[in-house]
């Protein structure tokens, strides 16, 4: 994982429920702010000795804190939200 901003704020529930599959990455970041962490992975195909990128997957994470005990992870494929997870941290 690559470090993001110096500890971004967790996502409040009122904002979390507005996130949905199909949103663009820019929409998510403008709504909730920069993530604490992001990670990228590329899926490729070997064709004629060259690797061609088929899709890029990116995960953005907003960590829990003492006031909002939920970590939120948004998964994007080619810049579009495909999965949203929210886990309570004890």
DSSP-assigned letters across all residues of 18-43: T--TT-BHHHHHHHH---SEEEEEEE
Print pLDDT tens along the chain (90 aa): 444 445 678 999 999 999 999 999 999 999 999 999 999 887 766 677 776 667 889 999 999 999 999 999 999 999 999 999 999 987
Q: How many CB atoms lie within 10 A of CB 42?
A: 11
Q: Positive or negative, the Cα torsion across 22, 24, 27, 33?
A: positive
Tell me the whole-structure pTM to 2 decimals: 0.80
The pLDDT value recorded for residue 60 is 97
Residue 5: exposure state from Cβ atoms within 10 A (0-12, 13-18, ≥19): exposed
The pLDDT value recorded for residue 50 is 73
């Amino acid at each position: 994982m690559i470090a993001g901003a110096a500890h971004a704020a967790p996502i409040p529930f009122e904002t979390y429920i507005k996130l949905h599959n199909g949103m663009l990455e820019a929409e998510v970041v403008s709504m909730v702010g920069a993530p604490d962490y992001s990670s990228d992975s590329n899926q490729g195909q070997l064709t004629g000795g060259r690797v061609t990128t088929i899709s890029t997957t990116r995960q953005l994470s907003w960590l829990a804190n003492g006031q909002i005990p939920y970590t939120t992870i948004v998964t994007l494929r080619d810049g579009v939200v495909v999965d949203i997870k929210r886990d309570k941290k004890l």
